[in-house]
Structure 1
Amino acid sequence: QLNVPFPTLMEWAKRPAELGGFGPIFTEVARRLLANHLDNPDAMFAVGVTHPVTGQLLSLHPMAQRFLRGLPAELVQSLNQRCTWMLCRRPAISCDLDHTKPYSEGGEASVANVAPLCRRHHRVKTEGDWKVEQTSPGHLTYTDPHSRQYKVTPPRLTDPVEPADPDPPPF
């Protein structure tokens, strides 16, 4: 997965791109990766729309009709990037897609009810006394057996917009 802020891709800004499993990469490297794979039939491209202020992923849009297959799963993995259990660093691509509200209890198979959990944490959640609620896609609240709550939010995929400082600090 390659995340490139649109203004960077269009050469309006110089924020770095991020290559999944690797980390930040130079903008020029990201542009070359995209250019070298645009005509590759096995390459899957989607445009990620991020919130202009928070930088969090809002939705994914395929660049061609043939890429629609699996897009909801890809959105969930792109939104969270990692296992949503507190402090777990396993990449979302290698996690189970867990229903927040179990399917057997009427939970639907949708982006708003699915989150990545590594196999270990999936078992802890399912077999333990943990409760989980997803208030919006990627925003989860875990409640442990002692009723303590832990909130998890998706990471920013682009830098937030810094507000202009209208008044300089007095000296």
Structure 2
Amino acid sequence: MIAAGASSIVPLGVASADQRRADALVALLLGTDEVDAVGSWQGRAPSVQLTVAATTLLGLDDHPGELDGYGPIPAAMARAIAADPTGTWRRLLTDNSGRLLDYGRTTYRPPQPLVDHVIARDRTCRFPGCTRPARRCHIDHQLPWNEHGTTAECNCQCLCSRHHHLKHETGWTVTGHPADDLTWTSPTGHTYRAPPGHYDTPDHEGPPF
């Protein structure tokens, strides 16, 4: 499909084969007239998923985009596709290793990379005074899914079975970013602070002489 449209966009001899294919791919994805016969195959415009860093879209760097099912594409091509006014964009939050931490409203059950992140971050149940290890807890949506809560690190926290039921069935409420202090309020109006999980970092001293 891309090769078929390449020669109709840029005359042979003017650009390299790779450049013509790149131009054809952009035209195909954007549904321009040059490759209308290809782009409207069986009456449907192509649908693709493109992942690209916000910094690249803003022109701050030239990291390649990732076209689902194809692979890396040049930053310029990614920006051209992003300019399509008919496209739909969704923000994806990742950690420094590229693991996705914010799935928005696309899924209720937290995927494994998000589960691993929340467990490592919280270390224990986030109810005040509870020391049950996070790996034995449930992953709770602080703002419930049925109230438009998202499946994201900013809305997911570890709660043991007992305190998970306490939160959803007895009138206890919790506020605060799960990475920071949480404030729990009992049905009687009393508030309790739950500090975030932390890792001890002992001072490293040089070897004795």
Q: Give the TM-score normalised by structure 2.
A: 0.43
Aligned: 1:97 with 2:108: no
Gaps of 5+ in 2: 1-93, 100-110, 204-209
1:118 to 160, 176, 181: 160
Aligned pairs, how many? 100
Match of 1:133 in 2: 175
* Alpha-carbon distance, 1:138 to partner: 4.5
Q: Distance in 2 between matches of 1:106 and 1:70?
A: 21
Is the Cα–Cα contact under 8 Å of residues 98 and 115 in structure 1 kept in the other structure?
Answer: yes
Q: From the two aligned structures, give the one with the greater strand fraction.
A: 1
Alignment of 1:1-171 (within 5 A): 61-62=96-97, 70-135=112-177, 137-159=179-201
The 1:91/1:79 distance shift into structure 2, 3 A limit, reads same
Q: Share of identical aligned residues, percent?
A: 29
Is the Cα–Cα contact under 8 Å of residues 138 and 154 in structure 1 kept in the other structure?
Answer: yes
User: Once superposed, which parts of structure 1, at least 4 consecutive aligned residues long, lie more than 6 Å away?
Assistant: none
Q: Equivalent residue of 2:192, what SS?
A: strand
Q: From the two aligned structures, give the one with the greater helix fraction.
A: 2
* Alpha-carbon distance, 1:140 to partner: 1.5
Of structures 1 and 2, the larger Rg is shown by 2
